[in-house]
Amino acid sequence: MVWIAVAVSGVSALAITLLPGVNATLEVWLGLAGPATITIFEWTATEQVHRLQPERLTGLMVWLFFGKMVFFAVYVAAILGTGLAEPVGFVVAFTGYFLVLLVAEAVALKRLLTPQADTDSRQPRAFEPAESESDRS
């Protein structure tokens, strides 16, 4: 889910920059670069810790949250402070990609942490006879 969201975000950035009359190419790509980088790093770490040491996941997520806030503060301040990109275009792109990727991470985390139901237990197997009315009584 997260990888798909990052890929779709990249495709959307490409599509936006190819639109005729759009002069916000740098703003769009810089708006995507920060959120996509953090999403890839954060999700890779989350999956690895969940697989190897699931009991450490909450602690990791707290550290990732603080790290993300520090990174974004420095990143946005650097882009806007240096005048590298036009502020409105960058902020719009950054906010949009940040929100989309944050929602994708939330959905993926819910899927990761939700126990999978055993769907086979509710349906008879092909080699097992189905229960008849007389068996149920």
Classify residue 121: in a domain, yes or no: no
Question: Which range of residues forms the domain containing residue 92?
Answer: 2-113
Classify residue 130: in a domain, yes or no: no
Which pLDDT score is estimated for 115? Answer: 82
pTM: 0.77
30 CB burial (10 A radius; 0-12, 13-18, 19+):
buried
pLDDT by residue (tens digit) across 32-43? 999 999 999 999
65 CB burial (10 A radius; 0-12, 13-18, 19+):
exposed
Number of separate domains in the chain: 1
Percent of the chain with pLDDT over 90: 61
